[in-house]
Structure 1
């Protein structure tokens, strides 16, 4: 069983439909970003999941929440599961922000269960990216800067792009995550 944490800022309906399409059951929990996660005691639950070595996947903003803090609208603490800071995509790169579109994934960690995404395209929609140590970065996408596309730390995974909007490539990534869960 997969739990989907909905903090009222994501696309959980499409994520849930994509998971159902590949044969994985999912259930949703309602919240609205970090403050609502905290109000509802979900931060403690998420940390317990991580401590129990249960696989955890954050998608887009959900990935960003895994990090220490975000600079969006001033410093805001995150979940602190992976070291790093969420920063605005610079607006002086000559590229449109928010970043919306398909980008190719460059593989940084060949030992990753997600290594099959190397050189494949996934769909991004975001204005912020994660600044973290290279040891946690599985793939990057070039958007004038190297944007981490997939991050990993132990059984915690994050995808900046939207696998549920990335066609068969995204569905394959969700299947891979499902296989991680089955092995636990």
Structure 2
């Protein structure tokens, strides 16, 4: 039976682009995967892997996630109780934080301690961080095998400041050093958009689809 991946639909994110990218990554890697875009808690609970996309403001995305009946509880059970692989993309990564500071202070999921803060005004770089940027590994993880110093596509005005350096797996520079990939145990988040990152993005998604947390 093909392994299942649930892409969480909570009213945020370019879901179709993410779905197509994951399907292509699986196909090109020769992986049998059943991929569904869903807000059905039963489907989420039965999934082998979860992917949480996100585009927009932290508070609105968190509110949208909470508004889908049973979805947050199902995600927490799969990720925190069953310890199945989980990936958050862009704001989906930022929601892993303790809190976000966009339009006031708002609680996040709190799975990876830290806060999501704005880029400070600077004459050295522009905010938002838009476009291609090199991503460098600071702590080895199999999801980034073969991808150190590859370029990925970013689009964000806020960045994740982790409390524990051990959770900072990859970085990029945009005036300052920012977290590009964060993670612990079975939980991962990437600030870049793999679905917009062409070959490197597909390789990253393929690695996630075959990743088995220790």
Aligned counterpart in structure 2 of residue 37 of structure 1, from 40, 46, 65: 65
Unaligned runs of 5+ in 2: 28-32, 40-53, 55-59
Mapped partners of 1:5, 1:111: distance in 2: 24
Q: Deviations over 1:17-71 (max 9, x none)?
A: 0111123432113596211221222221121111211000000010001111100
Q: Is the 8 A contact 1:93 1:144 kept in 2?
A: no
User: What SS does structure 1 have at the residue aligned with 2:203?
Assistant: helix
Distance of aligned partners of 1:19 and 1:113 in 2 relative to their CA distance in 1, 3 Å threshold: closer
- Output the aligned Cα RMSD: 1.9
Mapped partners of 2:123, 2:76: distance in 1: 36
Q: Which residue of 2 aligns with 1:114?
A: 144
Mapped partners of 1:180, 1:9: distance in 2: 25
Task: Please say if 1:168 is aligned against 2:162.
Answer: no
Aligned counterpart in structure 1 of residue 36 of structure 2, from 23, 27, 36: 27
Q: Is the 8 A contact 1:71 1:85 kept in 2?
A: yes
Q: Is the 8 A contact 1:109 1:115 kept in 2?
A: no
Q: 1:8, CA displacement in angstroms? A: 2.6
Mapped partners of 2:193, 2:173: distance in 1: 16
Q: Number of aligned pairs?
A: 183
Moved over 6 A (4+): none
Q: Which residue of 2 aligns with 1:9?
A: 12
Unaligned runs of 5+ in 1: none
Instruction: Give the TM-score, by structure 1 length.
Output: 0.92
Q: Which residue of 1 aligns with 2:169?
A: 138
Instruction: Give the TM-score, by structure 2 length.
Output: 0.79
Q: 1:93, CA displacement in angstroms? A: 4.7
Q: Deviations over 1:96-137 (max 9, x none)?
A: 211111111111002443242211100000001000021101
